[in-house]
Amino acid sequence: MAVEGGATCVKYLLFFFNFIFWICGLALIVLGVIAQVSLHNTAVLKGASGSALVLIVVGVIIFFIAFFGCCGALKENHCMVTTFAVFLSLIIITEIGAAIAVYVYRGKMNDLVNEGFKTLIKDYNTTESARKTLDGIQNELKCCGANSSDDWVNFMPTHSSVPDSCCKNVTQNCGIGAIHNDNKIYTHGCQPAIVNILKQNILWVAVAALVIAFVQIIGIVLACVLMRAIRSGYEVM
């Protein structure tokens, strides 16, 4: 009787935690979408959008895997509970891999941002998307270039002008001949501000991932306990 009561408790705890998994999956999808939109708007980190897509994919998978956990727990189906535990274990392994990748990116962030800026600056006069991206960054962050306004030295043949988005008061042609005029333009670069924003976002994502991983581990433990109870032939009320 005591075993039956304990197994019943595990059964409903597993169902409850699967509800939490649904929320976790939805949270990962939202985080991934926000990260993807943010990276799309800045376009500074080339290839980094893959991490955001991983979050979205993992979130969708978790969202559907929770179905197996809920149904398996309510129907006391050993196969479904086992499927749930196996897939959830694979998700945790994937999340660990993504966390390692993010950590590696974090160490190379300055270089990645710098390379991204160089490409965008090079394409500024020929590509509309690069122009809109850099103008948006420089207007929003009140900065100019990656490291300083000197990054725009090849912007025009005179080597003394910057885009109008570098100006403190943006007007047409306000950046002409003002590459070192700190009264008219922002001469400090955008890279430090962007790196700081990205590091803050990574920190929040890391905290969310730790919370989600903790919940997932509890779910795997509960699933294993329920699997053992079902296999042992105990009746779960």
Provide the whole-model pTM: 0.58
Residue 236 lies in a domain: no
Is residue 49 domain-shared with residue 119, that is, in the same domain?
no
Q: Cα–Cα distances in Å, from 178 out to 64, 170, 173, 185?
A: 56, 13, 10, 7
CATH, residue 167: 1.10.1450.10
Is residue 103 domain-shared with residue 6, that is, in the same domain?
yes
Is residue 105 domain-shared with residue 216, that is, in the same domain?
yes
Token reading at 217: 């581990």
Q: For the segment 91-111, what is each residue's pLDDT rounded down to a tens digit?
A: 888 777 777 777 777 667 777
Q: For the segment 6-16, what is each residue's pLDDT rounded down to a tens digit?
A: 667 777 777 78
Is residue 66 domain-shared with residue 104, that is, in the same domain?
yes
**Rounded CA gap, 166 and 124, in Å?**
13
Neighbours of 145 (CB within 10 A): 26
Is residue 51 domain-shared with residue 106, that is, in the same domain?
yes
Residue 197 lies in a domain: no
Lowest-confidence region among 8-12, 78-82, 214-218:
8-12
Is residue 186 domain-shared with residue 206, that is, in the same domain?
no
Domain count of the fold of the chain: 2
56 is in which domain, residue-wise? Answer: 2-110+202-231
Is residue 69 domain-shared with residue 102, that is, in the same domain?
yes
Is residue 124 domain-shared with residue 97, that is, in the same domain?
no
Contacts of 183 (CB under 8 A, 6+ apart): 168
Q: Using an 8 Å Cβ cutoff, are 73 and 226 in contact?
A: yes
